[in-house]
Protein backbone atom coordinates (compact mmCIF):
# COMPACT_ATOMS: atom_id res chain seq x y z
CA UNK A 1 0.00 0.00 0.00
CA UNK A 2 1.44 3.35 -1.12
CA UNK A 3 0.60 6.14 1.34
CA UNK A 4 0.23 9.49 -0.42
CA UNK A 5 -0.01 13.12 0.69
CA UNK A 6 -1.77 15.12 -2.02
CA UNK A 7 -0.68 18.78 -2.14
CA UNK A 8 -3.00 21.24 -3.88
CA UNK A 9 -5.84 18.82 -3.13
CA UNK A 10 -8.53 21.53 -3.42
CA UNK A 11 -7.50 22.81 -6.84
CA UNK A 12 -9.07 21.63 -10.09
CA UNK A 13 -6.23 19.23 -10.84
CA UNK A 14 -5.96 18.06 -7.24
CA UNK A 15 -9.69 17.28 -6.99
CA UNK A 16 -9.72 15.55 -10.35
CA UNK A 17 -6.80 13.29 -9.46
CA UNK A 18 -8.16 12.69 -5.92
CA UNK A 19 -11.42 11.31 -7.33
CA UNK A 20 -9.40 8.72 -9.28
CA UNK A 21 -6.70 7.94 -6.71
CA UNK A 22 -9.19 7.35 -3.92
CA UNK A 23 -10.56 4.35 -5.84
CA UNK A 24 -7.18 2.61 -6.21
CA UNK A 25 -6.93 -0.48 -4.00
CA UNK A 26 -3.16 -0.21 -3.46
CA UNK A 27 -3.11 3.55 -2.75
CA UNK A 28 -4.14 5.38 0.42
CA UNK A 29 -4.47 9.17 0.61
CA UNK A 30 -3.23 9.84 4.15
CA UNK A 31 -3.00 13.64 3.95
CA UNK A 32 -4.33 16.58 1.96
CA UNK A 33 -2.49 19.91 1.83
CA UNK A 34 -3.94 23.22 0.64
CA UNK A 35 -4.47 26.82 1.70
CA UNK A 36 -8.27 26.65 1.35
CA UNK A 37 -10.97 24.38 2.80
CA UNK A 38 -8.83 23.73 5.88
CA UNK A 39 -10.44 21.04 8.04
CA UNK A 40 -12.61 19.66 5.23
CA UNK A 41 -12.64 15.88 4.98
CA UNK A 42 -11.06 14.69 1.72
CA UNK A 43 -13.91 12.20 1.28
CA UNK A 44 -16.28 15.16 1.02
CA UNK A 45 -13.98 16.77 -1.58
CA UNK A 46 -14.13 13.57 -3.63
CA UNK A 47 -17.91 13.26 -3.27
CA UNK A 48 -17.56 10.05 -1.27
CA UNK A 49 -17.94 8.89 2.33
CA UNK A 50 -16.14 10.53 5.27
CA UNK A 51 -12.52 9.35 5.36
CA UNK A 52 -11.23 10.90 8.57
CA UNK A 53 -8.45 12.66 6.67
CA UNK A 54 -8.80 16.44 6.69
CA UNK A 55 -7.24 19.18 4.58
CA UNK A 56 -4.39 21.00 6.32
CA UNK A 57 -2.00 23.84 5.53
CA UNK A 58 0.54 22.72 8.14
CA UNK A 59 3.68 20.79 7.21
CA UNK A 60 3.74 19.23 10.69
CA UNK A 61 0.42 17.50 9.99
CA UNK A 62 1.97 15.98 6.87
CA UNK A 63 4.88 14.62 8.93
CA UNK A 64 2.45 13.08 11.41
CA UNK A 65 0.60 11.31 8.55
CA UNK A 66 3.90 9.62 7.51
CA UNK A 67 3.30 9.45 3.73
CA UNK A 68 5.53 7.39 1.44
CA UNK A 69 5.10 9.94 -1.31
CA UNK A 70 3.98 13.52 -1.90
CA UNK A 71 2.17 14.46 -5.10
CA UNK A 72 2.25 18.23 -5.63
CA UNK A 73 -0.40 20.05 -7.68
CA UNK A 74 -0.06 23.41 -5.93
CA UNK A 75 1.25 26.41 -7.87
CA UNK A 76 4.30 28.50 -8.76
CA UNK A 77 4.08 30.54 -5.55
CA UNK A 78 4.76 27.55 -3.24
CA UNK A 79 5.88 24.49 -5.22
CA UNK A 80 9.61 25.24 -4.85
CA UNK A 81 9.23 25.57 -1.08
CA UNK A 82 7.31 22.29 -0.98
CA UNK A 83 10.02 20.38 -2.85
CA UNK A 84 12.78 21.70 -0.58
CA UNK A 85 10.70 20.72 2.45
CA UNK A 86 10.22 17.20 1.07
CA UNK A 87 13.98 16.85 0.55
CA UNK A 88 14.72 18.13 4.06
CA UNK A 89 12.30 15.55 5.49
CA UNK A 90 13.51 12.65 3.32
CA UNK A 91 10.20 12.28 1.48
CA UNK A 92 9.78 11.27 -2.15
CA UNK A 93 7.82 13.78 -4.25
CA UNK A 94 6.22 13.83 -7.69
CA UNK A 95 5.84 17.42 -8.85
CA UNK A 96 2.91 18.05 -11.18
CA UNK A 97 2.71 21.77 -10.43
CA UNK A 98 4.27 24.01 -13.06
CA UNK A 99 6.04 27.32 -12.60
CA UNK A 100 9.44 26.15 -11.40
CA UNK A 101 12.23 28.34 -12.79
CA UNK A 102 15.21 26.75 -14.51
CA UNK A 103 17.56 27.77 -11.71
CA UNK A 104 15.14 26.28 -9.17
CA UNK A 105 15.02 22.98 -11.04
CA UNK A 106 18.81 22.91 -11.16
CA UNK A 107 19.06 23.62 -7.44
CA UNK A 108 16.54 20.85 -6.73
CA UNK A 109 18.60 18.46 -8.84
CA UNK A 110 21.76 19.29 -6.88
CA UNK A 111 20.01 18.87 -3.53
CA UNK A 112 18.35 15.62 -4.62
CA UNK A 113 21.69 14.01 -5.46
CA UNK A 114 22.81 14.54 -1.86
CA UNK A 115 19.48 13.55 -0.28
CA UNK A 116 17.50 10.46 0.67
CA UNK A 117 14.53 11.63 -1.40
CA UNK A 118 13.46 10.85 -4.95
CA UNK A 119 12.33 13.88 -6.91
CA UNK A 120 10.30 13.39 -10.09
CA UNK A 121 9.32 16.64 -11.82
CA UNK A 122 6.60 16.09 -14.43
CA UNK A 123 5.54 19.21 -16.38
CA UNK A 124 2.77 17.23 -18.08
CA UNK A 125 1.21 13.89 -17.11
CA UNK A 126 -0.53 13.42 -20.46
CA UNK A 127 1.09 10.51 -22.30
CA UNK A 128 0.06 12.13 -25.59
CA UNK A 129 1.78 15.39 -24.67
CA UNK A 130 4.96 13.52 -23.77
CA UNK A 131 4.88 11.70 -27.11
CA UNK A 132 4.45 15.11 -28.78
CA UNK A 133 7.67 16.28 -27.10
CA UNK A 134 9.56 13.12 -28.06
CA UNK A 135 8.39 13.29 -31.68
CA UNK A 136 9.29 16.99 -31.82
CA UNK A 137 12.84 16.29 -30.69
CA UNK A 138 13.11 13.58 -33.36
CA UNK A 139 11.92 15.98 -36.08
CA UNK A 140 14.09 18.94 -35.05
CA UNK A 141 17.32 18.08 -36.93
CA UNK A 142 15.49 18.03 -40.27
CA UNK A 143 14.04 21.55 -40.22
CA UNK A 144 15.34 25.11 -40.40
CA UNK A 145 13.32 26.59 -37.55
CA UNK A 146 10.63 25.94 -34.97
CA UNK A 147 8.07 27.85 -32.92
CA UNK A 148 5.61 26.73 -30.25
CA UNK A 149 2.04 27.89 -29.66
CA UNK A 150 0.55 26.78 -26.34
CA UNK A 151 -3.07 27.46 -25.36
CA UNK A 152 -4.56 27.04 -21.90
CA UNK A 153 -7.60 28.01 -19.84
CA UNK A 154 -7.77 31.56 -18.54
CA UNK A 155 -7.19 30.51 -14.91
CA UNK A 156 -3.68 29.19 -15.55
CA UNK A 157 -1.23 31.25 -13.50
CA UNK A 158 2.07 30.73 -15.34
CA UNK A 159 3.10 31.46 -18.91
CA UNK A 160 4.66 29.93 -20.88
CA UNK A 161 3.44 26.54 -19.72
CA UNK A 162 5.84 24.04 -18.20
CA UNK A 163 5.14 21.75 -21.14
CA UNK A 164 6.16 24.42 -23.65
CA UNK A 165 9.40 25.08 -21.80
CA UNK A 166 10.12 21.34 -21.50
CA UNK A 167 9.43 20.95 -25.22
CA UNK A 168 11.86 23.73 -26.12
CA UNK A 169 14.50 22.14 -23.90
CA UNK A 170 14.01 18.71 -25.51
CA UNK A 171 14.22 20.17 -29.01
CA UNK A 172 17.32 22.25 -28.25
CA UNK A 173 19.17 19.09 -27.18
CA UNK A 174 18.86 17.93 -30.81
CA UNK A 175 19.21 21.30 -32.57
CA UNK A 176 19.71 24.92 -31.49
CA UNK A 177 17.68 26.96 -33.96
CA UNK A 178 18.34 30.57 -32.84
CA UNK A 179 21.20 32.00 -30.82
CA UNK A 180 19.35 35.27 -30.19
CA UNK A 181 15.70 36.27 -29.87
CA UNK A 182 15.76 38.36 -33.02
CA UNK A 183 17.36 37.76 -36.39
CA UNK A 184 19.44 40.71 -37.69
CA UNK A 185 16.63 42.02 -39.90
CA UNK A 186 13.78 41.52 -37.36
CA UNK A 187 12.11 44.33 -35.45
CA UNK A 188 9.07 44.24 -33.17
CA UNK A 189 6.72 47.11 -33.92
CA UNK A 190 4.69 45.99 -30.89
CA UNK A 191 6.71 44.74 -27.92
CA UNK A 192 6.22 41.04 -27.21
CA UNK A 193 4.71 40.20 -30.59
CA UNK A 194 7.43 37.59 -31.25
CA UNK A 195 6.56 35.87 -27.99
CA UNK A 196 8.85 34.47 -25.31
CA UNK A 197 12.23 32.97 -26.15
CA UNK A 198 13.48 29.75 -24.60
CA UNK A 199 16.37 27.52 -25.71
CA UNK A 200 16.43 29.05 -29.19
CA UNK A 201 12.68 28.76 -29.78
CA UNK A 202 9.89 31.36 -29.75
CA UNK A 203 6.93 30.42 -27.54
CA UNK A 204 3.51 32.04 -27.87
CA UNK A 205 1.01 31.71 -25.01
CA UNK A 206 -2.77 32.01 -25.35
CA UNK A 207 -5.16 32.11 -22.37
CA UNK A 208 -8.89 31.84 -23.06
CA UNK A 209 -12.03 30.49 -21.39
CA UNK A 210 -13.16 27.27 -23.05
CA UNK A 211 -9.65 25.89 -23.41
CA UNK A 212 -7.96 23.29 -21.22
CA UNK A 213 -4.45 22.42 -22.47
CA UNK A 214 -3.31 22.51 -26.09
CA UNK A 215 0.05 22.81 -27.83
CA UNK A 216 1.32 22.96 -31.39
CA UNK A 217 4.99 22.59 -32.30
CA UNK A 218 5.47 24.10 -35.75
CA UNK A 219 8.56 23.27 -37.80
CA UNK A 220 9.43 25.13 -41.00
CA UNK A 221 11.80 24.49 -43.85
CA UNK A 222 11.93 25.46 -47.50
CA UNK A 223 8.55 24.77 -49.07
CA UNK A 224 7.09 22.86 -46.12
CA UNK A 225 5.88 22.90 -42.54
CA UNK A 226 5.30 20.15 -40.02
CA UNK A 227 2.86 20.61 -37.13
CA UNK A 228 2.87 18.23 -34.16
CA UNK A 229 -0.23 19.00 -32.10
CA UNK A 230 -1.71 17.69 -28.88
CA UNK A 231 -4.98 18.51 -27.11
CA UNK A 232 -6.12 17.63 -23.60
CA UNK A 233 -9.89 18.10 -23.53
CA UNK A 234 -10.44 16.73 -20.02
CA UNK A 235 -8.27 16.49 -16.89
CA UNK A 236 -8.85 12.74 -16.82
CA UNK A 237 -6.24 12.59 -19.61
CA UNK A 238 -3.55 13.15 -16.97
CA UNK A 239 -4.45 10.20 -14.78
CA UNK A 240 -2.78 7.31 -16.69
CA UNK A 241 0.49 9.27 -16.63
CA UNK A 242 0.14 9.99 -12.92
CA UNK A 243 -0.41 6.31 -12.11
CA UNK A 244 2.56 5.42 -14.30
CA UNK A 245 4.71 7.84 -12.27
CA UNK A 246 3.45 6.57 -8.90
CA UNK A 247 4.01 2.91 -9.76
CA UNK A 248 7.51 3.49 -11.16
CA UNK A 249 9.06 6.19 -8.98
CA UNK A 250 10.93 3.56 -6.95
CA UNK A 251 12.73 2.47 -10.14
CA UNK A 252 13.91 5.98 -11.03
CA UNK A 253 17.15 7.72 -9.99
CA UNK A 254 17.07 10.33 -7.22
CA UNK A 255 16.21 13.08 -9.73
CA UNK A 256 14.15 12.71 -12.90
CA UNK A 257 12.52 15.30 -15.16
CA UNK A 258 9.64 14.57 -17.49
CA UNK A 259 7.34 11.60 -18.01
CA UNK A 260 9.54 10.60 -20.95
CA UNK A 261 11.79 9.08 -18.27
CA UNK A 262 9.23 6.26 -18.31
CA UNK A 263 8.17 6.33 -21.98
CA UNK A 264 10.63 4.99 -24.50
CA UNK A 265 10.34 4.93 -28.30
Catalytic residue among 15, 54, 156, 204: 156
Q: Where are the beta strands (DSSP E) in 64-144?
A: 69-72, 92-95, 119-121
Catalytic residue among 152, 204, 214, 230: 152
Q: In what order do the strands lie in the sheet with 119-121?
A: 55-56, 27-33, 2-7, 69-72, 92-95, 119-121, 255-257
Q: Reduced to 3 states, what is the DSSP secondary structure of residue 208?
A: coil
204 is a catalytic site residue:
no
Catalytic status, residue 152? yes
Contacts of 243 (CB under 8 A, 6+ apart): 24
Q: What is the pLDDT of residue 11?
A: 94
Domains of the chain by range and CATH? Answer: 2-121+236-261 (3.40.50.720), 127-233 (3.30.360.10)
Residues 183/235, Cβ–Cβ less than 8 Å: no
For 238-261, b where at least 16 C-beta lie within 10 A, e where not — what string? Answer: bbebbbbbbeebeebebbbbbbbb
Helix (H, G, I), strand (E, B) or coil at 167: helix
User: What is the model's pLDDT at position 111?
Assistant: 96
Per-residue pLDDT of the chain (265 residues; tens, 9 = 90+): 999 999 999 999 999 999 999 999 999 999 999 999 999 999 999 989 999 999 999 999 999 999 999 999 999 999 999 999 999 999 999 999 888 888 999 999 999 999 999 999 998 899 999 999 999 999 999 999 999 999 999 999 889 998 999 899 999 999 999 989 998 899 999 999 999 999 999 999 999 999 999 999 999 999 999 999 999 999 999 999 999 999 999 999 999 999 999 997 7
Global pTM reads 0.83
The pLDDT of residue 45: 92
Amino acid sequence: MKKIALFGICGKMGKSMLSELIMEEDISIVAGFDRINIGTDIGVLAGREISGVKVTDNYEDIKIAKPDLIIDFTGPEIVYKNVLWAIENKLDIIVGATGLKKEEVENIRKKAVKSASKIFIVPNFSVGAVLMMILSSLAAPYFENCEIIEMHHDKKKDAPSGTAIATSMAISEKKNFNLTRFLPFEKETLEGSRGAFSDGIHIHSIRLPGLLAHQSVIFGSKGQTLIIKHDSIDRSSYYPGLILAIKNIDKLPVFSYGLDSLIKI
